[in-house]
Structure 1
């Protein structure tokens, strides 16, 4: 089925950065998509949590914290986490894309694997888990679905921390246990707690499945399987499949012990034991006895004698934290006794030994020490890598990123900061080499901090004409935004009165600066104003006021006309003629006096109040309001008409 038609996330630009190309897989907790990181131009895998989890705030908080911890892991056998984030209701992880298939796919295709091949898969898994355990992280969900085999043969572990984040949800756990109960340790089932030894148990179950082709327990319900994990001991693989070498039985038995204290202390301890077993595996199955076969019995000394060097089987038991004197019951036949080819006659007392035998004893002891050193070195080689990946340190505070890098063994240097429009100052913009690059341990990583957006001061353009001001603003690295005009009796027409933002303010480069241009000196409109108020305003502005009176129906003392009219261009000192009403002729009466039943109301006195407050008060009293700007202030300087007026009539205010 074409997921493009059925999955709305396919084709979506997630978080403005990840272009989702196709869906790779879908599981119980999340879906995985192939995506292109358009910022870094690289292919990534994006894991998007199902909405039932993403809608749980507790899960999202824990998920973010776990993602940050996992992102700090840098190991060749761990799938690198690059980024985490949210996009609307989508909660996602951006991870290294690993072309290949899961270990579950291999098991479905091939069934059980040969012993050597099974160990060669488990060993790098243990190396990955060991690195996490040393960093204080527990996987909690080790299973074949979370082990990837790349096309070039590398083994990768994925989904560190996701199970821990799910534990934080308020949802029932039953659905989450169905897919993983077969690998859960007894303590996870009974108490819901997990530590490094829980991962060891799961790895032991996975090794059992690789060797036998099935899980140790089956049941009709998840709880029946969980019950057997708690109350039964995991059988040795050779009980199901003949020919599995005894050391592998011992490794599985120790890793899957129901008592956590009897298991290897962490994945690194199990890794050393697994490497030792791998070294013992024969090229052909006949070279070691099967788990059910008996080795030749040892020669029993008549009296206590110095211990013989440990056989490889005994060293395995030590590596698995098993006391030398009391090895596991199911491995006593092969683990406690020397191999047949190393048996000698019963040891003599020290006085009867010959010099040649002494030398032979020292030689065997030296050989044993050499073998121990070889095992330790091989374990270290498997668990370490000469090359490591550069961790993801971008989008983090420089100081914290430096501490994280140094804690992982890198030498951290701080490079020259670079301006960036999207990242805050002192956040890591880039690393050199880039995250995910393979470098030698202890290499130098240079952090390039963000200097934040580049800012420039708004230039002084007041008093310039518009063309000159535009040129000055462009040279400063800014753009001209909105241009508006305003009357001014101090700035000549066509020149800049002011800018917004103001001169000298630091603003982002390439941002807009608005210009306010002078429209010159305009004649104020004082019609309908009282004579005294109009004359005062015009005189203050420097005009030469002349007044004519005439009979008119308007209230006496009201300016009914002016010349030049309001809004016309003029110059300071120009004459202005006002026509003022001296009242109506005799016999005139107010229009509403002949209209019985006319609703009247007192006009509120709003002079010297804020313009907006004045408008609201007049409208609340039932009047219409007209405003006129004569002084450019936000205070009312005059109001007409006043007294009692018909409700619904117009009141003019000047400011």
Structure 2
């Protein structure tokens, strides 16, 4: 029965992007699917974590963090991680799809490998681990199931960081160890901790298995195997396979030392030793020895080339690596492909040998792809250009684009986007940020309000408040200034206030004598016109005006003033009633001071000191007295009200 037919994810569009085509493999922690990335139109492998892990928040947090770290690891011998996400209950990784077989499949088919071929597999594995170690990443679960032999001869390592994410899950809170027990270092068994030397130990165990066809320790239970890792010394390959090269005995012994301090510091150090061993091996070390392989430590001889040893795991094995459909063509793969792969590797090895021993990456095939790193975005353009060139891209600068958050001179985005796989030498366009977009407030001074609105709209700005202020110099209705001021940089679609001239405000001259009203209005720039009418009011005083006080008018405007008749026989009340005896200077009268053109405050005080009361009327508001009534020098009773305009 085809199990993919009953898998609910097959045929679905995961996260709106990945159309699941078929199921590749299923393990205790994840299921791997072949899928089409409909956004980028490329085939990918999607690893979906099992629900027991996806429902654990601690695992999901660590899983996301590790995925980001691994995605930044660009190396030809690492299966690239393109994307990570969640879709409902599904937590997944989108990765490079590499048709081929796992190293475990090869061991099942062949049993063991000749010394040179074993090293030709291990060297790219160590190159991948070394690059990870120098980036601060630890694999934690190095084993043949996590090594992929691609159909084109490339060697790929997969599942970086997954073991670390699982360590954060609730499934490990009771002291359960994570990893395949046959490859776990003593410190992982006893303390649960792992570093680069733990990966070196697992690589040494894997080399032992490639050379002998079995793991060094076998037992009835996982704990019995774990006990031997802690208390026994890993045997050298020649103990099981007489005639195995001493160089490889030394390599395995160094890598699997029980004390981490006695192992190579990281995979790069072991890589250097492996390359040197490969160089020194005789050319005839390839054939598989016909001597049967015996169990370690002198146990009775077992049948040669056993099938894949049972890998005891304390948590079910993870999903198989990213493989193509595992049909008969894989099981019966001709030896010619292996030879072709060996020739391909030796070409790369010849290049590697001229590089200093601090090498961190290996170029094994002309078909090696490179991935656009996510780390370029946000970096200074110069630094990002250097990094992209180091990774093998031809870099081109794109047109800068404005962005509110990205500082000017940093990489805003890349074309192609991060995670895109490309051929070495491919063009990568870095789009720099021009920083936040700002527009200068245009000069709208002296424009009318409608003109100013139109000009601001051309600059993507809006008018907010209109503030009016009187002005003797700016014609009414013209813009006097803007807030913010002209030329200031502001965001697009910002609001700008306009300060508009109200022109001249009509002064209040009601009650003012004609001569004084005429002088005030002409001095303020108006043209007064007077109309007389019969009235009982004080003669020749303004009793009405048009425009009304405080009206906005233009300089030179005509002001019509209505006056009481100027030839009237009108007299002050006290004059009519004889309240002031002629020539009476005995303290019954006061003389009104002439306070015109004085400061109105000083004038007020002077009038009060003279014995009259004061009524203030603001007209132009400049602080100087413009007119008074009764006029200066006139004799009035004490307490008479004197009106002053200022």
* Residue of structure 2 equivalent to 1:207: 207
* Aligned counterparts of 1:174 and 1:376: Cα–Cα separation in 2: 50
Q: Distance in 2 between matches of 1:40 and 1:227?
A: 49
SS across alignment from 1:28: coil
Selected match of 1:416 from 399, 405, 422: 399
The separation in 2 between residues aligned to 1:405 and 1:206, in whole angstroms, is 39
Q: 3-state DSSP class of the match of 2:20?
A: strand
2:121 maps to 1:121: yes
Question: How far apart are residue 31 of structure 1 and its match?
Answer: 0.7
Query: What is the deviation of 1:389?
Result: 4.2
Contact conserved, 1:251 with 1:273, CA < 8 A, in 2?
Answer: yes
RMSD: 3.9
Cα 1:6–1:427 shift into 2, 3 Å: farther
Query: CA separation of 1:434/1:414 partners in 2, compared to 1, >3 Å: closer, same or farther?
Result: farther
Instruction: Measure, in 1, the Cα distance between the counterparts of 2:77 and 2:194.
Output: 22
Tell me how far 1:376 sits from its aligned partner: 6.7
Which residue does the alignment assign to 2:189?
189
Q: Which has the higher contact order (CA 8 A, sep 6+)?
A: 2
Q: Where does the alignment leave 5 or more consecutive residues of structure 2 unmatched? A: 288-350, 404-409, 435-491, 494-646
TM-superposed CA distance for 1:283, in Å, is: 2.1
Structure 2: distance between partners of 1:63 and 1:191: 22
TM-aligned CA distance change 1:226 to 1:433, over 3 Å = closer
Contact 2:205/2:252, CA 8 A, preserved across alignment: yes
Separation in structure 2 between the aligned mates of residue 86 and residue 246 of structure 1, nearest angstrom: 50
1:384 matched to 2:369? The reply is no
What whole-Å deviation, never above 9, does each CA across 1:476-519 have from its counterpart, x for those lacking one? xxxxxxxxxxxxxxxxxxxxxxxxxxxxx98xxxxxxxxxxxxx
Alpha carbons 1:99, 1:150 under 8 Å: kept: yes
Is the 1:56–1:169 Cα contact (8 Å) retained in structure 2? yes
What displacement does 1:188 show? Answer: 0.9
- Structure 1 contact 133–266 (Cα < 8 Å) conserved: yes
Say whether the 8 Å CA contact 1:15–1:87 is kept in structure 2: yes
Cα contact 1:431–1:447 (8 A) shared by 2:
no
Deviation for aligned residue 1:375: 5.7
Are the counterparts in 2 of residues 49 and 92 from structure 1 also a CA contact under 8 Å?
Answer: yes
Secondary structure at 1:148 match in 2 = strand
Partner of 1:610: none
2:71 matches 1:71: yes
Deviations 1:253-290 (A, max 9, x none): 00000011110111111011011111111122599xxx
Residue 236 of structure 1 corresponds to 236
> Is the 1:401–1:428 contact (alpha carbons within 8 Å) kept by the matching residues of 2?
no
Counterpart in the other structure of 1:151: 151
Larger radius of gyration: 2
Going from structure 1 to structure 2, the CA distance change for 1:278 and 1:429 (only over 3 Å counts) comes to: closer
> Is the 1:3–1:22 Cα contact (8 Å) retained in structure 2?
no
1:46, distance to aligned residue in structure 2 (A): 0.5
Q: 1:449 to 1:83 in 2, by over 3 A?
A: farther
Structure 2 vs 1, CA of residues 55 and 276 (structure 1 numbering), >3 Å: closer, same or farther? same
Instruction: Give the secondary structure class of the aligned counterpart of 2:171.
Output: coil
Deviation per CA, 1:149-198, whole angstroms, max 9, x where unpaired?
Answer: 00011100000111111111111379985861110111111111111111
Q: Is the Cα contact below 8 Å between 1:31 and 1:48 reproduced in 2? A: yes
SS in 2 for 1:106: helix
For residue 390 of structure 1, report the CA deviation from its aligned partner: 3.6
Match of 1:435 among 420, 438, 443: 420
Partner residue, 1:270: 270
State the partner residue of 1:590. Answer: none
2:643 corresponding residue in structure 1:
none
- 1:130 aligns with 130
User: How many Å apart are 1:434 and its aligned residue?
Assistant: 7.7
1:395–1:427 contact (8 Å) kept in structure 2: no
Confirm or deny: 8 A CA contact 1:107 1:213 kept in the other structure.
Answer: yes
Structure 1: state its 5+ residue gaps: 288-372, 452-504, 507-655
Change (3 A) 1:115 1:286: closer
CA contact (8 A) 2:373 2:419 kept: no
Partner of 1:344: none
Q: How far off is 1:221 after superposition?
A: 1.2
Q: Which residue of 2 aligns with 1:108?
A: 108
Give the corresponding residue for 2:583: none
| Number of residues of Structure 1 aligned to a counterpart in Structure 2 | 370
User: Are 2:428 and 1:445 equivalent residues in the alignment?
Assistant: yes
> How do 1:493-572 and structure 2 match up within 5 A?
none
Deviation string 1:4-50 (CA, Å, 9 cap, x unpaired) is: 42110111101100000001111221111000000000000001111
Q: Does the 8 Å contact 1:275/1:378 carry over to 2?
A: no
Partner of residue 82, structure 2: 82
The question of whether the paired residues in 2 share the 8 Å contact of 1:14 and 1:20 is answered with yes
Q: Distance in 2 between matches of 1:91 and 1:218?
A: 35
Contact in 2 for aligned 1:417/1:450 (Cα 8 Å): yes
2:255–2:263 contact (8 Å) kept in structure 1: yes
**2:257 maps to 1:257:** yes
Structure-2 change in CA distance of 1:15 and 1:403 (3 Å)? farther
How far the C-alpha of 1:93 sits from its partner, in A, is 0.5
Aligned residue in 2 for 1:142? 142
User: CA 1:115 to 1:379, structure 2 compared with 1: closer, same or farther past 3 Å?
Assistant: farther
| Residue number in structure 1 paired with 2:31 | 31
Q: Deviations over 1:627-655 (max 9, x none)?
A: xxxxxxxxxxxxxxxxxxxxxxxxxxxxx
SS in 2 for 1:284: helix
**Residue correspondence of structure 1 range 320-335 to structure 2 within 5 A:** none
Tell me the residue number matched to 1:12.
Answer: 12
1:313-340 CA distances to partner (integer Å, 9 max, x unpaired)? xxxxxxxxxxxxxxxxxxxxxxxxxxxx
Conserved? CA contact 1:83–1:94, under 8 Å: yes
- Judged with a 3 Å threshold, the aligned counterparts in structure 2 of structure 1 residues 446 and 163 are, in CA distance, closer, same or farther, namely same
CA distance in 2, matches of 1:144, 1:174: 28
Q: CA–CA distance in 1 between the matches of 2:384 and 2:118?
A: 35
